[in-house]
């Protein structure tokens, strides 16, 4: 499986994401600059954390207009797995690829520490290696991770089982403890915690590796069926 790590001006978790895929997962991966005009050669698209365009206006608000985002949308429509972590999640929200919006943390402070997450839905292409209700430890590092949506959108998220991860102890005020959601189609995941920073016990834990293993497992199974 071949992954693209999208690099925006201000991305700073792209190297972590690259390491997770190449050295821990053992899959092919390349950095792709935000000016790229095609993502056709890639099987999975990864939008890393950081401060794209300095987080001016709003987090992700400028990055959503980057040239590559037209290709990200095209890949999403084609059913390819799209993962946005932290700033990547914020970009997916701004681009309308996921519902809702991100607000400042309730404390108005930047938070950087490991947190416990609960796996609410383990039937997605991003969570199928986890157990239902499994509690995992993944680090967070954000100042604007307070997820919000209106009541109608929240009802749809619940009805369609689109809430994949929730916080065991809410660190930022996020609505109903939401830490990660998928689109209705099930191939676009946005999450504030950083699974790419939890892929090796030397880093303090490897609970995040299962997320990337889930993507590869689903991709290989689908390609065997379609072969």
Residue 149 is among the residues annotated as catalytic for this protein:
no
* β-pairing verdict for 82-85 and 28-33: unpaired
Cα separation, 45 vs 215, whole angstroms: 11
Residue 194 is among the residues annotated as catalytic for this protein:
yes
Secondary structure of residue 46 in the 3-state scheme: strand
Sign of the Cα pseudo-torsion (75, 76, 80, 82, in order): positive
Q: What is the dihedral of CA 97, 199, 2, 140, to 10 degrees?
A: 20
Residues 6 or more apart from 103 whose CB is under 8 A from it?
Answer: 144, 146, 147, 148, 173
Residues 6 or more apart from 221 whose CB is under 8 A from it?
Answer: none
Return the bridge partners of 4, or none: 30, 45
* β-pairing verdict for 163-167 and 178-182: antiparallel
Do residues 200 and 12 touch, judged by C-beta distance below 8 A?
no
Residue 196 is among the residues annotated as catalytic for this protein:
yes
Catalytic option among 71, 86, 94, 120: 86
Do residues 74 and 82 touch, judged by C-beta distance below 8 A?
no
Catalytic option among 94, 120, 144, 196: 196
Catalytic residues: 86, 194, 196
């Amino acid at each position: 499986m071949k992954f693209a790590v999208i690099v925006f001006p201000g991305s700073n978790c792209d190297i972590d994401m690259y390491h997770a895929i190449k050295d821990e997962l053992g899959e092919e991966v390349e950095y792709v600059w935000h000016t790229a005009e095609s993502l056709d050669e890639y099987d999975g698209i990864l939008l890393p954390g950081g401060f794209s365009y300095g987080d001016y206006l709003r987090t992700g608000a400028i990055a959503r207009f980057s040239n590559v985002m037209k290709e990200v949308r095209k890949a999403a429509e084609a059913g390819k797995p799209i993962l946005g972590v932290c700033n990547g999640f914020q970009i997916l929200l701004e681009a309308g690829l996921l519902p809702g919006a991100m607000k400042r943390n309730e404390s108005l402070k930047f938070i950087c520490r490991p947190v416990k997450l609960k796996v609410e839905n383990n039937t997605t292409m991003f969570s199928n290696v986890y157990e239902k209700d499994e509690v995992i430890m993944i680090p967070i590092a954000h100042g604007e991770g307070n997820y919000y949506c209106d009541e109608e959108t929240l009802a749809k998220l619940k009805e369609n089982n689109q809430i994949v991860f929730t916080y065991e102890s809410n660190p930022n005020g996020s609505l109903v403890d939401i830490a990660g959601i998928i689109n209705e189609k099930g191939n676009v995941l946005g999450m504030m915690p950083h699974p790419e920073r939890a892929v090796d016990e030397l880093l303090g834990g490897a609970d995040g590796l299962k997320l990337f293993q889930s993507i590869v497992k689903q991709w290989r199974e689908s390609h065997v069926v379609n072969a």
